[in-house]
Amino acid sequence: MPDAKITAVVIDDEQHSVSTLRWKLERYCPEIQLAGEYTDPVKGLEHLKRDPPDLLFLDVEMPRLNGFELLEELGDQIAFEVIFTTAYDEFGIRAIKFSALDYLLKPIQNAELKEAVEKYRRKGGSGMNATQLEVLFSNIREEIKGRPMRIALATKESIEFVEPSAIIVCTSDSNYTQVFLADGRRKLLSRTLKEFEELLTGFNFFRTHHSHLVNLRHIKEYVRTDGGYLIMSNKMNIPVARSKKEELLNLF
């Protein structure tokens, strides 16, 4: 018996973006069945209220009603998954990343589109997590005010949201990252250390070593012996690569 089709709606104010995404879905994601495509977000919102799909591809920046405002109009009863389509320099991209929501950067790459759809299938299509949505909106408001946002620490069991200041150290564990928290707990997350480094840029984090990313505010001591290492607030000893020593000491 063939797999059931995944119904999807595309909302993007640029017709060429809609047409390109439709073509890519038809060619590379045959399991997707487009139930609607809209360049007018208001009409797209009406469709979502009337006939919710399994999956929504949603542009962030649109006139009249941007992607975040559209979701707010729906409230917390969103029974479908959302994949944002956005550009690096657009407002809200950090809030999306911090909330552990899926997104595709324009121009959308074929492999990334296929992976996003496959990730949706692995999740089982249970609909958007209400807590993630709440944190997304909160992070957007905090971003506007220039205040700290909360980052999603997503494991197989749960999604926890913490402020970056609660993270002491991130250490590489192959394609995973161990995150050590100020309350003594640690979490193993399926994100690379490079992803965390990019995500935490601007929040006083520093890559001391290829395997370690530290919160500068949690450094207690720099020890010059044994090649040089840091003692963190949780008593962890973190090595400092020779090539990073001068840069680190200049930060002090």
Q: Dump pLDDT digits (tens) for 87-131.
A: 877 778 888 888 878 899 999 999 999 999 998 887 776 667 777
Half-sphere exposure of 225 (CA within 13 A, CB side): 0
Nearest to 148 by CA among 157, 158, 138: 138
Secondary structure (3-state) at 45: helix
Same fold, 6-142 and 163-251: no
Look up the CATH superfamily of 6-142. Answer: Response regulator (3.40.50.2300)
- Phi-psi bin for 145: left (phi > 0), alpha (psi -120 to 50), beta? alpha
Torsion of CA 221, 189, 136, 108, to 10 degrees: 120
d(CA 108, CA 232): 41
Its pTM stands at 0.73
pLDDT in tens, 180-206: 999 999 999 988 999 899 889 888 999
**Per-residue pLDDT, 216:** 96
| Domain 163-251, classified CATH 2.40.50.1020, yes or no | yes
Indicate the domain borders of the chain: 6-142, 163-251
Beta strands 237-239; 229-232: pairing state: antiparallel
d(CA 112, CA 79): 24
